[in-house]
Amino acid sequence: MIDYETIRVIWWLFTGVVAIGFTVTEGFDFGIGALLPFLGKSDVERRVILNTIGPNWEGNQVWLILLGGALFAVWPPLYATLFSGLYVAMLLVLFSLFMRPTGFDFRSKVDDPTWRNAWDWALFAGGALPPILLGVLVGNLVQGLPYRLDQDLRTFYEGSFWALLNPFALLCGVVGLAGMAFHGAIYLGWRTEGVIHRRACAVLDLLGPVFLVGLTVAILWTIAAFGRPEITSMADTAAPSNPLNKTVTLNNSWLAHFAAHPWMWAAPVVGVAGMLTAWLTGRKGSSGLAFLSSSIGISGVLLTLGFALFPFLLISSIDPRSSYTIWDASASHFNLLLSFWITVVFLPIVLLYTRWAYKVMWGKVTERDILQDSHTLY
Amino acid sequence: MITGEDVVDLSRLQFGLTALYHFLFVPLTLGMTFLLGIMESVYVMTGKQVYKDMTRYWGKLFGINFAMGVTTGITLEFQFGTNWAYYSHYVGDIFGPLLASEGWMAFFLESTLVGLFFFGWDRLSKVQHLTVTWLLAFGTNFSALWILLANGWMQYPVGSEFNFDTLRMEMTSFADVFFNPVAQVKFVHTVAAGYVTGSMFVLGISSWFLLHQRDVGFARRSFSIASAFGLASVLSVIVLGDESGYTSGEVQKIKLAAIEAEWETHPAPAGFTLIGFPDQERQETAFAIKLPWVLGLIATRSIDEDVKGIKDLRQESISHIKSGMVAYGELQKMREGDKSPAVKTAFDQHKADLGYGLLLKKYTEKVTDASEAQLAQAGDDTIPKVAPLFWTFRIMVVSGFTMLFVFAMALYHCATRTADQKPWLLKLAVWSIPLPWIAAETGWFVAEYGRQPWTIAGVLPTHMSVSHLSSGQLWFSMGGLVTFYTVLLIIELYLMLKYIRLGPSSLHTGRYFLEGKA
């Protein structure tokens, strides 16, 4: 039996694992979608691009669904406040996701240039909008969201959609898009040869610097402009979840938090080093090494965010004690244990057959493949 | 704070529409994956090419449908959070793990393997591909299992209790949630209905090929598999129908009484109202034609148990509401810091009825000061509108029995090898294609509309469950969803019809009708 405090920390880690699983796998699908109209000039070229992820994108998308499910199951108030507070933004994410299953499956089922071109732009929107919107969301998470809880723990969100589009958050949106497109170009380069391979590697010279510079600016901006929340009093770490039983100040420094836990610096270092390695190796001809590096880099960036916020999950900018921490926004002890065992059993099984599915479909996708299997492939 | 009625109504309408829309695609996925598994098994066992072509052709139609199922399924996961925030907080501890399990056990399996199903034909051995197809079928069915456990819990919330520290429901027994009798019958009923949908789809389209004397060998084989699987499935739907779930819990009993427009409690065994015109205001059913004994048999599986009528159930609800007022009052005291044993004991005595107390929140924020008139109003609220339930239930049942007739005739004529000489049968099968959808949609309407005024039966009222949104936000989402869904449905139907007209010739094997072969 794992005690309540420990299992809360474990679930904080697991949530990070699922978030990383989502960003690393669906990340390159999003990126490839965003690059599709630009890196593929002809119909056959675009089909080559689509079919590098054709057999596997659907499984990757489940990480997103699972992330939603994990928040619902393990941090129910976080799920409730995030999705209802950011109502319009979440619906825009949803609408852009509509373009993906339909785009992949329907695009090549009709042999008509207008039809296919329209779907290519739909796939572009479905690939580009979610990273931008999720980036904007992260940008606002760092600044805190304007919500408060009433005594029944009902959420009242007092901001508007337009207020989300502040300069810092927009920068995060650009970083999100550049990062996913970068990751996508690397995967695409790895799975193709010839002209598409060359174009994919060339675009890294644009995306790599945008991402790295943008990320650095965002980090410095955070340190300079925003305060980090700190708990000033709370029930103990194994108490039943009720956010209102604590007090919080918003004026601490992010640097002081890292200074208190120096090992946390490993995350941003791994993030930047991974992305740099990916860029430098990828631009000369993308390979498994470049992909591994960008995956590690992305994980480092996400861990930086998680470490910086710890133990907070969501900050309220208007009523600090309504903020959620891992100690007061978790599901019950019973539930966390149940979900833990389900995850421990199924995560390895999922990874095993996912690996197999990739292995079966592995290989470079070429124009010849497309012409040969024109009626079966995407 | 009391949320505006228009936001509650719009949120309900939006969830209802998107859920019903999603369920246009789900049952076909449930049924088609099984049929694909059967067809491919025959291919692997006999080695006959036509069965592989069948798997691939029906697989193409399945693919178009599956894409829509995935697209519209994400909406539902988002919506619990976006539109039902208090619900998510209040029952996330039970609902969440079931949804997450669906992710781990079902979504990953079906979504990872669906790519191999379509693109793995030349990269996998026969047996490997067959395994993929069957795992895909199990994946879709696991998905139904988990989400129906969640839905079954909403109808009959077992294995959980209210925690006054966290102000929400928390799970106390996974086994009780998993073996919830309402959820179990719901699962069997729903997946079997999915098999019926898949079978009717294949049967109807094969009949259309036969009527036009196209690809006769291909169509005849598809027809016979669909008729056999369809008959077995429709019998399961009817015989194992989820009627038996209606005796568990107060709210399910009210739903049953509403479906039957059973205003009074009659001496056992109760009669079944075959048809009539329910009148909510006067609380009676005009021109009722009753079959003696039948309702008692269906509902209680006995001849000596009463089936309670609406008027008596309403009185019972009112006594639950009174007890819920006490629970709410004691909870309020505890929240204000009074944790004395007397308060705790009083709360524990009444806490099962806390949800009924919350019904009063619609009329008075304080709850404990409710007047007799407000109590009576809340009591009325516990009775859903009878006429819509009465009629949709009957539409579902008639669709079900019509399909039983179609499948029975189809199988009989298949067995006597006379099916393709019976144009009436083939035409009937084509025109029956919409029936499983009509049955499924009306069935869900009965299940969900009949649970009103609750999201969680007896635990959380609908008007408490919604997010604190403006009606402008609701109109934005509704506008977007209706636009996207309408456009996507037109595209989906266009592609379906295109590939149905092409028939197996769309595989470009050179063996079929439009390619110059019979």
**Local confidence pLDDT in tens for the 518 residues of chain B:** 445 778 999 999 999 999 999 999 999 999 999 999 999 999 999 999 999 999 999 999 999 999 999 999 999 999 999 999 999 999 999 999 999 999 999 999 999 999 999 999 999 999 999 999 999 999 999 999 999 999 999 999 999 999 988 999 999 999 999 999 889 889 999 999 999 999 999 999 999 999 999 999 999 999 999 999 999 999 999 887 756 566 677 788 888 888 888 888 877 667 777 778 888 888 888 777 877 766 666 666 666 667 788 889 999 999 999 999 999 999 999 888 888 899 999 999 999 999 999 999 999 888 888 899 999 999 999 999 999 999 999 999 899 999 999 999 999 999 998 888 899 999 999 999 999 999 999 999 999 999 989 999 999 999 999 999 999 999 999 999 999 999 999 999 999 999 999 999 999 988 898 887 65
pLDDT in tens, B345-383: 999 999 999 999 999 999 988 888 889 999 999 999 999
CA neighbours closer than 13 Å in the CB half-sphere of residue B18? 27
**A337: which residues sit within 8 A by CB, 6+ positions away?**
A1, A2, A7
Query: Is residue A33 within 8 Å of A100, Cβ to Cβ?
Result: yes
What pLDDT, on a 0 to 100 scale, did the predictor assign at position A286? 73
Inter-chain CB proximity B92 and A331 less than 8 Å? yes
Phi, psi of B170 (to 5 degrees): -130, 150
Q: What residues of chain B lie within 8 A of the CB of A69, using their CB?
A: 77, 96, 99-100, 102-103
Q: Which helix (H) or strand (E) covers residue A129, if one does?
A: helix A113-143
Decide if A377 is inside a domain.
Answer: no
Q: What is the 3-state secondary structure (H, E, C) of B412-464?
A: HHHHCCCHHHCHHHHHHHHHCCCHHHHHHHHHHHHHHHCCCCEEECCCEEHHH
Q: What is the mean pLDDT of residues A308-320?
A: 94
Q: Tokens standing for B95?
A: 């609902």
Confidence category of residue A137, pLDDT binned at 50, 70, 90: very high
| R_g over Cα of chain A | 21
Kindly list the residues from chain B whose CB atom is less than 8 angstroms away from the CB atom of residue A152: 86, 167
Cβ contact B100:B67 at 8 Å: no
The answer to the question of residue B290 being in a domain is no
| Residue B268 in domain | no
Taking alpha carbons only, the member of A32, A63, A19 closest to residue A300 is A19
The parent domain of residue A331 ranges over: 4-372
Chain A to chain B, count of Cβ pairs less than 8 Å apart?
A: 241
Which residue among B112, B335, B477 places its CB closest to the CB of A151?
B335
For B335, which residue in chain A has the nearest alpha carbon?
A151
The per-residue pLDDT for range B129-175, each reduced to its tens digit, is 999 999 999 999 999 999 999 999 999 999 999 998 899 999 999 99
Instruction: Please report which helix (H) or strand (E) contains residue B284, including its range.
Output: strand B284-291
3-state SS class at B285: strand
The answer for residues whose C-beta is within 8 angstroms of residue A231's C-beta and 6 or more apart is A246, A247, A248, A311, A325
Quickly count: other Cβ atoms within 10 Å of residue B239's Cβ.
Answer: 8
B358: nearest CA in chain A?
A152
Query: Distance (Å) from the C-alpha of residue A62 to the closest C-alpha of chain B?
Result: 6
Of B504, B5, B407, B426, whose CA–CA distance to B195 is shortest? B407
The share of chain A scoring above pLDDT 90, in percent, equals 92
Nearest to A82 among B81, B86, B119 (CB): B81
User: Is residue A337 over pLDDT 90?
Assistant: yes
The alpha-carbon gap from A159 to the nearest alpha carbon of chain B, in Å, equals 11
Residue range A294-317: mean pLDDT, rounded: 95
B94 part of a folded domain: yes
* B68 chain-A contacts, CB cut-off 8 A: 101-102
Interface with A, mutate which of B82, B160, B481, B515 (most A CBs under 10 A) = B82
Contact assignment for A350 to B506 by CB distance below 8 Å? no
> Are B431 and B405 in contact, with CB atoms under 8 Å apart?
no
Answer yes or no: do B93 and A87 touch at CB < 8 A: no
CB proximity A91 to B under 8 Å: yes
Residues of B in contact with A361 (CB under 8 A): 115-116, 119-120, 123
Does any CB of chain B come closer than 8 Å to the CB of residue A290? no
> What is d(CA B328, CA A336) in angstroms, rounded to the nearest whole number?
28
Looking at the domain assignment, is residue A243 inside a domain?
yes
Specify the number of domains making up chain A.
Answer: 1
- The distance of B218 to chain A (nearest Cα, Å) reads 20
Task: Please give the Cα distance from A103 to B516 (Å, whole number).
Answer: 32
Q: How many domains does chain B have?
A: 1
**CA distances from residue A49 to A42, A190, A221, A292 in whole angstroms, order as listed:** 11, 11, 37, 20
Count the Cβ atoms, other than its own, within 10 Å of residue A269: 11
Q: CB–CB of B100 and A241 under 8 A?
A: no
Q: Between chains, do A58 and B111 touch, taking CB under 8 Å as contact?
A: yes
A230 in reach of chain B (CB within 8 A) = no
Distance CA B129, CA B110 (A): 14
Residue numbers in B near A154 (CB within 8 A) = 1, 85-86, 89, 468
Residues B331, A294: Cα–Cα separation, whole Å? 52
Q: Report DSSP letters for B180-232, one per residue.
A: -HHHHHHHHHHHHHHHHHHHHHHHHHHHHHHHTT-SHHHHHHHHHHHHHHHHH
Compare CB distances from B116 to A155, A357, A375 and report the shortest one's residue.
Answer: A357
- Decide if A378 is inside a domain: no
Contacts of A377 in chain B (CB under 8 A): 119
Residue numbers of the domain that contains B419: 5-249+386-508
Residue numbers in A near B167 (CB within 8 A): 152-153, 242
DSSP A249-270: EEEE-HHHHHHHSGGGGHHHHH
How close B448 gets to chain A, by Cα (Å)?
A: 22
pLDDT at position B1 is: 44
User: Which has the closest alpha carbon to A139: A178, A158, A165?
Assistant: A165
Q: Do B469 and A354 touch (CB under 8 A)?
A: no
Contact of A342 with chain B, judged by CB distance below 8 Å, is answered with yes
Domain assignment present for residue B137? The answer is yes
Query: CA-CA distances (angstroms) from residue A119 to A51, A98, A104, A200, B316?
Result: 15, 12, 8, 21, 57
C-beta atoms of A69 and B63 within 8 A: no
Q: Is residue B209 part of a domain?
A: yes
Contact B116 A55 (CB under 8 A): yes
Residue to substitute from B3, B94, B98, B111, interface A, most A β-carbons within 10 A: B111
pLDDT reported for residue B251: 82
Residue A104 contacts B, CB cutoff 8 Å? yes
Sign of the CA dihedral with B341 first, then B345, B346, and B351 last: positive
**Cβ contacts (< 8 Å) between B94 and chain A: which residues?**
335
CB proximity A80 to B under 8 Å: yes
pLDDT digits (tens, 9 = 90+) for A224-275: 999 999 999 998 999 999 999 999 998 888 999 999 999 999 999 999 999 9
Inter-chain CB proximity A83 and B480 less than 8 Å = no
The confidence score (pLDDT) of residue B297 equals 63
- Which residues of chain A lie closer than 8 angstroms to B83, CB-CB? 84
Mean pLDDT of chain A: 94
Measured CA to CA, the distance from residue A140 to residue A147 in angstroms comes to 12
pLDDT for position B302: 62
pLDDT attached to residue B102 = 94
Which of B74, B82, B174 faces A338 most closely, judged by CB atoms? B174
Rounded (to 5) percent helix, strand, coil in chain A: 75, 5, 20
**Cα-only R_g, chain B:** 25
pLDDT of residue B441: 96
Q: Would you call B488 and A97 a contact, using CB atoms and an 8 Å cutoff?
A: no
**Contact across the interface for A73 and B112, Cβ inside 8 Å:** no
Nearest to B99 among A54, A72, A81 (CB): A72
